[in-house]
Structures are given as structure tokens and as C-alpha cells.
Amino acid sequence: MSRALLVIDVQREYFDGAFPIRYPVGHLDSILEVMDAAKKANIPTVVVRHHQPDPDSPVFRKGSEMWQLHDEVEARPRDILIDKQLPGSFTNTPLETFLKERNIDTVSIAGYMTQVCCDTTARQAFHRGYKVEFLRDATGTLDVENKAGSVTAEQLHEAILVAQQMFISDVIDKETWLERIG
């Protein structure tokens, strides 16, 4: 098995901006721990950063303060930084080329938000033939309310993880992942 760690959208918007991630507790610490472990195990780390296509967007505006990576993620080593404009990390990016050049067959998903960019990227990876590990405590979300209804972060996170485990991903915790790369 040849894996890569995908660290998706760990940006300031999710800490100090419009979308503060609140669940699960310790999500950032888990992300940082798996990044450090990946480096130690020589597992390629892909850091993905999102920006909205609208240059006047109030959120994830390219070049803005809230668009920046979280300082702790920015300070850690990575093999490539990929910018994207849509939820899927494969869409209009060099991600697949990067993975194929390294004969990667498994991607490990960490980052934000569980139900949008992490879920979409996992589905895209599965559709392209990759094995997917979805790190339940190194992904995160928030409470959501919109015209369709409302859901707590806990409910939303669990629902996505259950759906991922049905067919697409091997949903595991950080400790299981750390044992696997041991």
C-alpha cells in the first residue's frame, strides 16, 4: 500500500472567520499529529487550500486573511500545496497527476468540512480507483442551518461518516491510522 495524506482546507476561515469548526473536539490537534506522523513515515502530504472564484467573495477570498492556511499547518512540511475553487480536491487541480507520479493507491482524508470538501474528495478518489481512509477525528464540521433545515455538528459528522463507511471509505480514527503507518 502506498498512501498520501490529504489535508483539506485547514484555513483561518474555520477558526477566526465565518465557519468556526466545533466538532469533534481536538480536530486540529489530530490533524497536526497525523501531519507530523506522515512526515516521519515519509508519506507524501498534500495540503489543499480553497478559494471562491468570485474575487469579491466575503468568505475564502483569495489573498485575504481568512483564506490563509492555519499557522500550524502552514509551518509544517508538505510535498505540495494545491489551490482549488470547488469542493472536490481533484477538480481542475494537479492532485491526480501528483498521486499517479508517486504510484499512490490510498488517500487518507483529513481537514474540513466533513460534509463538503472532505466528503466530495473521498468520493472523487473512490471513483478514480483509490482506496480511501477517512480520519474521523482529523476531520471536522459545525452546526448547519439553512432553508432545508438544521443539524448539529455531531449529527452531521456522524451521518457523513456512516455514509462514507457504507461503500466509499474505511472510516478510522487517528490512532488506527497511526498504527497502520507504524
CATH of the domain at 79: 3.40.50.850
- pLDDT tier for residue 162 given thresholds of 50, 70 and 90: very high
How many domains is the chain built from? 1
- Name the grid cell of 8: 483539506
Choose among 120, 100, 104, 101: nearest CA to 163.
120
Choose among 13, 1, 3: nearest CA to 110.
3
pLDDT over 90 at 134, yes or no:
yes
- pLDDT tier for residue 1 given thresholds of 50, 70 and 90: confident
Q: Are 84 and 49 in contact (CB under 8 A)?
A: yes
pLDDT, average across residues 74-102: 98
Full-model pTM: 0.97
* Domain that residue 101 falls in: 3-180
